[in-house]
């Protein structure tokens, strides 16, 4: 299964503090081919990013879980 390396790279860079949430949102719009679990997490992440009260500490575990699911091809 082919995934977009841009999504994993962008999420990783966000975790490291090198990109802003706008770039994460853009990357989530074109995730490439991902498995059903990854797609579910991507959809959940999109929903969290739409919330006005979202915080970085709340997003970090979801971003890590999304990266892991994509890496495992789930």
Tokens coding 22? 């706008």
* The pLDDT of residue 42: 94
pLDDT in tens, 19-47: 999 999 999 988 788 889 999 999 999 99
What is the rounded CA–CA span in Å between residue 23 and residue 13?
10
* The pLDDT of residue 2: 47
Which pLDDT band holds residue 1 (cuts at 50, 70, 90)? Answer: very low
List helix spans (H) across the chain.
5-15, 21-28, 36-50, 56-71
């Amino acid at each position: 299964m082919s995934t977009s390396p841009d999504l994993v790279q962008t999420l990783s860079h966000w975790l490291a503090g090198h990109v802003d949430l706008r770039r994460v949102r853009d990357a989530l719009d074109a995730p490439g081919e991902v498995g059903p679990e990854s797609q579910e997490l991507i959809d959940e992440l999109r929903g969290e990013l739409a919330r006005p009260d979202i915080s970085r500490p709340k997003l970090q575990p979801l971003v890590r879980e999304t990266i892991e699911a994509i890496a495992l091809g789930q």
